Amino acid sequence: MGTLFVGGALTLTLGALAYPSMLGVSQAATAQDRIIAQTQWGPLTEQDRDFVVKVRAAGLWEYPLGEVALQKGTTPEVKEAGRHLIDGHAALDAACRKIAPMLNVTIPNVASPQQVGFVNTIESSNGQQFDTNFANILRVTHGSIFNTISKIRSTTKNSLVRSLADMANDTVLDHMTVMEKTGFVNFDQALFMQTTPPKLPDTDLTPPAPQPGAPMVVLTPPANPTSTPLGVPGENANGATPAAGAAPTPTPTPTVG
């Protein structure tokens, strides 16, 4: 299994944790805590907005790979991991699409070039090589974003972003666990790759902005979803949410999956 990581395939994919910064905004680390908007749910920083984009972008490439795993996975554990990707990212995607307009955050419709590379690397393999690529690439990327989630959760002052971080934490931990249960994860290599990501150009890490007027891509939940939808302040019984700047409607404390 170790030889898989020596080649260029996985090395080129290692920027998964370097998910795109918010569209059209500087990625300078020193500016990430800069407040860019005051909302009724609390101040929104650049790293808050970046996080919403990261979660959306993750689903745009991991959800399709879940579907591929159901077709090409050679073991029950790999297929089960695929089901978890579909279920978890459909719920997270619904949450992103719900809160993005409330916070005036632009979210992408397609994954970044680098994330498309992940999909191509995994999808082009077969048999046990598919299982190995699938489990290792996704374990590395989930392990990396897991650290980002904890930072956002502990520092954000925005309640919507905080709720999304709670939900993402549960989902990513679940996905890490099911990848490990496949038995194909090389932990030494995964840890090395998580801690020494390659330096890639911004153009590889940033998904293109959606085309004006293009319908938003929706990740359809499975027939029997198990992930809990995100509840947000101001949401009515029909699931409608207030527009950005609208007066909030008192609601019970939201629950997240």
Q: What is the pLDDT at residue 196?
A: 78
Higher pLDDT among residues 197 and 12, named by residue: 197
- Burial (CB count <10 Å: 0-12, 13-18, 19+), residue 109: middle
- Residues 216, 101: contact at Cβ < 8 Å? no
Q: What is the pLDDT at residue 241?
A: 53
State CA 211 to chain mean position distance.
21
Q: What is the pLDDT at residue 227?
A: 84
SS3 annotation, 173-240: HHHHHHHHHCCCCCHHHHHHHHHCCCCCCHHHHCCCCCCCCCCCCCCCCCCCCCCCCCCCCCCCCCCC
pLDDT tens-digit map of 103-127: 999 999 998 888 899 899 999 999 9
Q: What is the pLDDT at residue 16?
A: 32
Higher pLDDT among residues 237 and 49, named by residue: 49
Q: What is the pLDDT at residue 7?
A: 40
Listed range (99-108, 124-133, 227-236) with the worst mean pLDDT: 227-236
Residue 35 has pLDDT above 80, yes or no: yes
Higher pLDDT among residues 138 and 33, named by residue: 138
Q: Please give the single-letter amino acid code of residue 170.
A: D
Residues near 159 by Cβ (< 8 Å), separated by ≥ 6?
41, 42, 233
Find which of 65-74, 135-144, 217-226, 228-237 is predicted with most confidence, using mean pLDDT: 65-74
Residue 255 has pLDDT above 90, yes or no: no
pLDDT tens-digit map of 150-201: 999 999 999 999 999 999 999 999 999 999 999 999 999 888 888 877 777 7
CA triplet 172, 152, 192: central angle to 5 degrees?
55
Q: What confidence tier does 207 reach under pLDDT thresholds 50, 70, 90?
A: confident
Q: What is the pLDDT at residue 231?
A: 74
How confident is the model over 68-82, as a mean pLDDT?
Answer: 97
Nearest C-alpha neighbor of 13 from the set 152, 86, 113: 113
